[in-house]
Amino acid sequence: QVQLVESGGGLVQPGGSLRLSCVASIRVFRSVRMGWYRQPPGKQRELVANIRSSGNTTNYADSVKGRFTISRDNFKNTVYLQMNSLKPEDTAVYYCNTDPPVGSWGQGTQVTVSS
């Protein structure tokens, strides 16, 4: 059974930074593409970044390109999202999952960008 545990969210002022982490109990973690998703209040969940199994190819939504960086540690079954220059519109619950997503979702981690 897949378990995903996200952490690292919080309240930050505009322009600030946060680093999210996700530990994934996926047996084939090092073989799958992983993604970070977010769900803003009242909106649908969206993919914001993904990373291939080897870690050498990443893709970003236009809204976060140049500000967010996804990375992974295949020895720790962990995927990260470094978020810089945060904006109020980045406020959302952030989740990780495979890309495309499979199984159930974790509890997510709340990111609130507000002054």
Q: What is the pLDDT of residues 49-106, one digit of tens each?
A: 999 999 999 999 999 999 999 999 999 999 999 999 999 999 999 999 999 998 789 9
| pLDDT recorded at residue 102 | 86
Average pLDDT score over residue span 24-30: 91
Mean pLDDT for 12-29 is 96
For 13, phi and psi rounded to 5 degrees?
-80, 155
Asked whether the beta carbons of 38 and 94 are under 8 A apart, the reply is yes
d(CA 65, CA 77): 24
72 Cβ neighbours under 8 A, 6+ residues apart? 34, 51, 55, 78, 79, 80
